[in-house]
Structure formats: C-alpha cells, structure tokens
Amino acid sequence: MPESFDPSPDAEEKAAVASYLARWLDDWLRIPGTNFKIGLDPLLALFPGLGSALASGGGLLILVEAVRCGVSLSVLLRMGGNLLLNALFDFLPAGGPVVSAFFKSNRRNLRLLQAWQAGRSGEVRRDTCLRFLLLALILSALVSLLLGLWLGCAWMMSRLFQAWTS
C-alpha cells in the first residue's frame, strides 16, 4: 500500500530535466516557414550507430528521470515501448530519421511523465527494484539493438568495400 507524502520540489526539478531533454531531442529547431520542429534525435539518427546511440541515450535519461520520480510500472512500459520503437526506426535507411522526426518519442514520454505526476503526485511506489530492473532490461535491449545495427552497417560496408576493390 503506497504511503502519502508532500510532493517535493525535487520531483519538479526532475520533470524539468526531462522537459529540457525532450525539447532538445524532439523540438530544438523550427523548420522555416512552418510550425514543425525537429530536434537532435532525427539529426543524430542520420549517423548510423554512434548517432543513434547518442539519441537513444538522451531518451534513456528521460526514462531514468521517470524512474526517479516514482512512475508506475505500466507507464514505464509505455515509455520504454516508445523508446524501443524510435530505435527501431533507425533500421529504415534514410526514412528512419524522417519517421523519428514525426514520432517524437521523447515528447511522448515527457507527456506520459507529466500526466502521471498530475494524477499521482501524492503517492510513493514501493516497486522501485522492479522499476530499475525494467529500466535495465530496456537499456540492454536498446544497447543490443544499436550494437546489432552498428555491426550490420559495418558488415555491409566491408562487403561493399570488398566488391568495389576486387
């Protein structure tokens, strides 16, 4: 049974960090002549492997802030799903960053965090260990996915180089 507590300014500070990250990753730059914004996430995704890892790392920081705020397991699962789906877009050659620019997984995760805080800011969840385990699972899945992407690109580049030089 959750205990009640007075929400601390620390929770607001954590949400501010997540808001700052989401803005930079998804809404950093407005495209001239439109109201559409892109962030560093789709721009970094243009560089397979390292760029994708950096963008996913920023998204993981939002997930870590959600864990620190005490978000429920169901919300963490949705946030992790958004992050994994965004990482899967990197497998789409050239189209992945475009899809990522429209999907805006970090902004979605920020909205989930803010909605949870608005409805549950007076509760402390005791399943912290389970949340950290879930976060570790999501992190390992993302690392595996990005490593596989990087290795696949390296293999393709080596094959293309061999075909080109022979």
- Per-residue pLDDT tens over the stretch 107-153: 988 988 888 888 864 444 444 556 666 666 777 777 777 777 778 77
Number of domains in the chain: 1
Per-residue confidence (pLDDT) for residue 7, from 0 to 100? 46
Q: Rounded to 5 degrees, what are φ and ψ at 39?
A: -125, -165
Single pTM value for the model: 0.66
Render pLDDT for 7-63 as a digit per residue (tens, 0 to 9).
Answer: 445 666 667 878 888 888 888 888 898 999 988 888 887 777 777 778 888 888 888
Domain span at residue 157? 3-165
Query: Is 39 exposed, middle or buried (CB count within 10 Å of its CB: 0-12, 13-18, 19+)?
Result: buried
The more confident residue out of 79 and 90 is 79
**Rounded distance between C-alpha atoms, residue 107 and residue 23, angstroms:** 7
Whether residue 66 is predicted with pLDDT greater than 60 in this model: the reply is yes
User: At residue 7, what are phi and psi to the nearest 5 degrees?
Assistant: -60, 135
Pinpoint the alpha helices (H) of 8-127.
9-26, 40-44, 50-69, 73-89, 95-103, 105-120
